[in-house]
Amino acid sequence: MSDRKPFSFIITVGALAAAGAVLYYSIRQLPQDVGAAPSASVTGVSLHALAEAGNIAGLEAQLKAGAKIDSGLEDGPLAQRGMTPLMTAIFAGQEKAAEILLAAKPQLEARSRDGRSALIWAAGWGSPAMVQRLLDAGAEKNARDEANFTALIMAAARGEAKSVDLLIKSGADINAKNKWNHTALMTAIRTGNKEKVEALLNAGAGVNDADLDGLTPIHMAAESDAPIAALEMIQKRGGNLDAQSAAGLTALMIAADRGDAEKVKTLLALGAKVSLKDKDGATALDWANRRADDAGKAVAELLQKAK
C-alpha cells in the first residue's frame, strides 16, 4: 500500500496549522488589545478588578499600557453592569484607586447600565470627600439615572449627611423629583435622618410637594421612623399639616393607623384637624380603632379628647 497521503489531506493539515498559528498570535496579542499591562503580575487582569482591589501599581501599569479607562463592566452582579473602573473603585471604597483613575481623565458622565454616573455612585456609596472630588473635577451635579435619581436624591436615600450638604452647596437642584415624584427631602424623611432633613429644609426644600400618591413630606414624616422633630420642622416652614393624599389621608390618620401616640400628640399640638375624613369617610379616630390593640386604644383616647 502506498504511504503517500491524499492531496486533500495535506491541504487540511496545512489549513489547521495556519489556523492554529492565527489563534496563537491572537492570544498573544489579546492583552495589548484589551489594554492589559505587560507586567506578568497584572497581565490579563482588568482595570475593574484592579480598581476593586485597590491595586495602585497594577492600575498604573495598565493605564500606562493603554487600558481603556471608560470600559463598562460586562459581568458580575446585574446592578453593577456597565460600571466604569472609576465607578467600581468608588463602590468598593478604594479612594486611592479612584484618584489614580481620575488623574487619567475619564469621562465623568459615562453611565452604568442603570444610568448612574460616577457622582451618583459616590453620593450613595462613596465618601463625602469623593463627592467633593468629583464636583471639583466638573461632574454634572444634576445628572439623573434611569429612575430619575439625582446625586442629591441618592445621597438623601443612602449616602452620608455630609454628602447631602456638599451637593446642596454645589447648587444641586433641591426639589428635583425621581420617577415616583419623590424629592430629596421626602427621601431623607423616610430614612429617618434628622441631619439630612434639617439640611434640606434649611436650604429651602419644598415642604408641600406631592408624590404620585399625593403624599407630601408631612405624610412621610408621620408614616416613617423620622424623628418627631421632622413634623415640627416641616410645619414651621409652612408645611400643610392637613394636606390630604389622593386617597384623602392626612398625616394624623397615618400616625393613628401606625398607633404612634407621640406623633399623634405632636400633630394635635401643632393644630392638625381631627374631623377630616378620607375618601372612604374614615377619620383619624376610625383609623386608630381599626387597630384593636393597646396602641390603637391609646391613640383613640388622644383623638377623642381632642374632638
Q: Where are the domains of the chain?
A: 216-307
| 3-class SS letters over 210-256 | CCCCCCCHHHHHHHCCCCHHHHHHHHHCCCCCCCCCCCCCCHHHHHH
Count of residues making up the chain: 307
Class for the domain spanning 216-307: mainly alpha
What is the model's pLDDT at position 35? 32
How far apart (Å, rounded) are the C-alpha atoms in residues 84 and 108? 10
pLDDT of residue 75: 85
Angle between helices 118-125 and 161-169 (to 10 degrees): 140
Q: How far apart are CA 242 and CA 289, in angstroms?
A: 20
User: CA quadruple 48, 59, 41, 21: dihedral positive or negative?
Assistant: positive
Q: What pLDDT score was predicted for residue 45?
A: 83
pLDDT tens sequence for the chain (307 residues): 334 343 333 334 344 444 443 333 333 333 333 333 332 234 568 999 999 999 999 999 999 999 999 999 988 788 889 999 999 999 999 999 999 999 999 999 999 999 999 999 999 999 999 999 999 999 999 999 999 999 999 999 999 999 999 999 999 999 999 999 999 999 999 999 999 999 999 999 999 999 999 999 999 999 988 999 999 999 999 999 999 999 999 999 999 999 999 999 999 999 999 999 999 999 999 999 999 999 999 999 999 999 8
**Confidence at residue 153, expressed as pLDDT on a 0 to 100 scale:** 98
Residue 44: what pLDDT?
A: 66
Q: C-alpha grid cell for residue 97?
A: 484607586
Report which residue type is found at 63. Answer: L
pLDDT score at 276 = 98
